Structure 1
């Protein structure tokens, strides 16, 4: 969707540039033959383009559509005792009978950083910070 919008924006930009070049060429051609007519024509064209520019600005600001919400990161944990979290992990123990030292609480939630995958026995993955982890018997 974003690539499509960029392509559309680029096409509109080049279309506008092309129309501007053609308009300037036409005004120069008219100015060479009749300066008074070119002045009147430039005034009318300037007023029309100002109105179109205002309309496009308002449409782009308020009516250009709503950007889709970013996709939620996928969080996958596979394997015996594996742990995956989309954000911060304070303290994790994946082994039997072990307990890691408690980690301090995170000050702010971690932003989603994409997919998080923990695969394999006792694997740990986080989309944010990991405070303390123990993956086996100590």
Structure 2
């Protein structure tokens, strides 16, 4: 449960306990005097509960934390690195990489760790790789 939600729940619990204690003490001291106070307290608690509920539902929300970005590095000769999916790659002289029969679906999540292609004609992807040709034709 989020911190704001916990705070609102415990505020509501605290108000209920305080109201119950107040009514018991008021009833023990003077029942006739406790009746109007109970009506006022009940109405106030209802309005406050409505306000807290509306604030919890419609109030400001915390911004989602940014997703970590992947470090994408291609450092070798003819190397290829991609943070997501790769459909077709050819790094050799005269080589062709035929597209796969079906292209890979876009990655549902981007790579969260490093994606590194560091050797000669190396290929690295944070998602799916469809077709790769790294040799000469």
Same structural fold, with TM-score higher than 0.5 when normalized by the shorter chain: yes
Aligned pairs for 1:18-97 (under 5 A) are 18-65=14-61, 67-68=63-64, 70-71=66-67, 73-80=69-76, 81-86=79-84, 88-97=85-94
Instruction: State the 1:124 CA deviation.
Output: 0.8
Q: Which runs of 5+ in 1 are unaligned?
A: none
Deviations 1:76-122 (A, max 9, x none): 12322131133x3212234444433312234x533234425224221
Q: 1:10 to 1:66 in 2, by over 3 A?
A: closer
Aligned pair count?
131
| Structure with the bigger percentage of helix | 1
Q: Which runs of 5+ in 2 are unaligned?
A: none
Q: CA RMSD in A?
A: 3.1
Instruction: State the 1:60 CA deviation.
Output: 2.8
TM-score, normalised to structure 2, is 0.69
TM-score, normalised to structure 1, is 0.69
Who is 1:130 aligned against?
Answer: 129
